[in-house]
Amino acid sequence: MLVASWRARRLAKPETAGSIPAGHTRFNRVRINTNASQRREKVKTMVQILGLDVAGNPAQWLSAEQAVTKAVTGGIAWQWGDRIFVFRGGWNRRGERSIVELRPIVALAGRKSDVWMREELPLTNALLFRRDRYTCAYCGGRFSPRDLSRDHVIPRVQGGKDVWTNVVTACRACNQRKGGRRPEQARGLSLLFVPYAPCLWEHFILSSREILADQMDFLVARVPEYSRVFGLA
| 34/45 Cα distance (integer angstroms) | 16
Helix, strand, or coil (residue 151) = strand
The least CB distance from residue 202 to Zn ion, in Å, is 24
Question: Which listed range, 14-22, 73-81, 115-123, 139-147, lies at the site for Zn ion (CB under 5 A)?
Answer: 139-147
Q: Does 174 bind Zn ion (CB under 5 A)?
A: yes
How many residues of this chain bind Zn ion (CB under 5 A)? 5
| Beta pairing, strands 40-42 & 97-102 | unpaired
Site string for Zn ion, 9-28 (x = CB under 5 A): --------------------
Q: Does 171 bind Zn ion (CB under 5 A)?
A: yes
- List binders of Zn ion among 43-72 (CB under 5 A): none
Q: Does 139 bind Zn ion (CB under 5 A)?
A: yes
| 124/91 Cα distance (integer angstroms) | 42
Q: Specify which residues 27 forms β-bridges with.
A: 89
Nearer to Zn ion, 191 or 197 (CB): 191
The least CB distance from residue 164 to Zn ion, in Å, is 20
Nearer to Zn ion, 138 or 218 (CB): 138
- 142 secondary structure, DSSP code: B
Nearer to Zn ion, 111 or 131 (CB): 131
Q: Which residues contact 149 (CB under 8 A, 6 or more apart)?
A: 125, 169, 170, 171, 172, 175
| Beta pairing, strands 27-33 & 84-91 | antiparallel
| 201/112 Cα distance (integer angstroms) | 16
The least CB distance from residue 132 to Zn ion, in Å, is 11
**Interface residue with Zn ion, options 27, 129, 138, 201 (CB under 5 A):** 138
The least CB distance from residue 189 to Zn ion, in Å, is 9
Nearest CA to 137 out of 79, 86, 178 is that of 178
Q: Which residues bind Zn ion (CB under 5 A)?
A: 136, 138-139, 171, 174
